[in-house]
Amino acid sequence: MADTEASEPGRQALAGSRGMNGSRRSHWKHVYATRDAVDVSWYQPIPAKSLALIRSTGVPLTAPILDVGGGASTLVDHLLDAGYRDVSVLDIAAEALDKARNRLAARATQIKWIETDITDFVPARSYAVWHDRAVFHFLTKASDREKYLDILRSAIQPHGHFVLATFGPQGPTRCSGLEVKRYSVEQLGDLLGPNFVLRAHEIEEHHTPMGMSQQFLYGWWQADSGQPAAAAH
C-alpha cells in the first residue's frame, strides 16, 4: 500500500472535523461516488498548463511536490511520466483518491496519498511546489481562506513555488452545485502578501466534458524568504 502522509495532529484534525468541513467532505464524497472522473466539469486529460508551470519552476525531479485537491486528476500520472519522484496528492474525498490509485495500478505505490480537508491539513514536511487547481475558489468563507494560506505559508520551502488555478474574473459563479469565488491576479497577490513574488500568470478557457467554457486564471508565485509574510486579513 502507498504511504499516507499526515502527522498525528493532522489525523486528529481530520477525525474531529465537523460542521462546514464535514458538509464539504460529504459533498465531494458523493460527487466521486456517483460520477466518473472524466465526467466532472474540471476534468482534463492532459493538464498542460499545470505541467508547464511546474516545469518552469526548475525544481529537480527529486523535489517534493504537493497536489492539493488532486483527487482523480491525471496530473499525478504526467508528473510520474516526467520523472518526478516525490509526489503527494491531497484530497478531501477517499473516493477521488481511490480512482487515481486504481488508474495508476502498480505505480500508485510511488505516490504519497493524503485524505483530509485542506483547512485541516497539518503538514508533516515542507514542499518545493504546492499545486492547486480548483480548490481555492471553493473556499468562500474568509476564515477558510485564511486557514488555507496559513497552512501554505507553513508548508512551503524557502524560495518554494505556489502554482494556483482558480476561476478568473469572468469565470462561473457556481460549480458542482456550490458557490465559488472568482479572482484576478491582483486579488490573489493581495491575499498572498508581499513575500510571494509573481513569476507568471495566464488566462485559460477551459472546455468542460459537457461542452461549456469556463475561464481559469493560472498563476505561479515564488516565496522570496523562508518565512513568507502573512497577508493582511
| pLDDT over 70 at 227, yes or no | no
DSSP 3-state of 30 = helix
Q: 8-223 has which fold?
A: Rossmann fold (3.40.50)
pLDDT digits (tens, 9 = 90+) for 171-207: 998 887 789 999 999 999 999 999 999 999 999 998 8
What DSSP line would sit under 58-109, residue for residue? T--TTS-EEEET-TT-SHHHHHHHTT---EEEEES-HHHHHHHHHHHGGGGG
pTM: 0.83
Return phi, psi of residue 169, to 5°. Answer: -55, -30
Helix pair angle (94-104, 19-34), 10° resolution: 40
| Residue with more model confidence, 35 or 45 | 45
Whole-number Å distance between alpha carbons of 185 and 196: 12
**Helix locations, the chain, DSSP H:** 8-16, 19-34, 48-57, 75-81, 94-104, 142-155, 185-192
H or E element in which residue 218 lies? strand 213-223
What does DSSP say about strands 178-179 and 174-175: parallel, antiparallel, or unpaired?
Answer: antiparallel
Q: What is the pLDDT of residue 66?
A: 98
Which tens digits make up the pLDDT trace of 133-171?
999 999 999 999 999 999 999 999 999 999 999 999 999
Q: Higher model confidence: residue 226 or residue 99?
A: 99
Q: Write b or e for each residue in 183-216: b if 16 or more Cβ atoms lie within 10 A of its Cβ, otherwise e.
A: bebeebbebbeebbeeeebeeeebebeeeeebbb
- What digits encode the pLDDT tens for the residues 79-95? 999 999 999 999 999 99
Domains of the chain, by residue range, sit at 8-223
Q: Which residue has the cell 523535489?
A: 63
Q: Judge contact between 117 and 138, C-beta under 8 A.
A: no
Cα three-residue angle 59-65-69, rounded to 5 degrees: 140
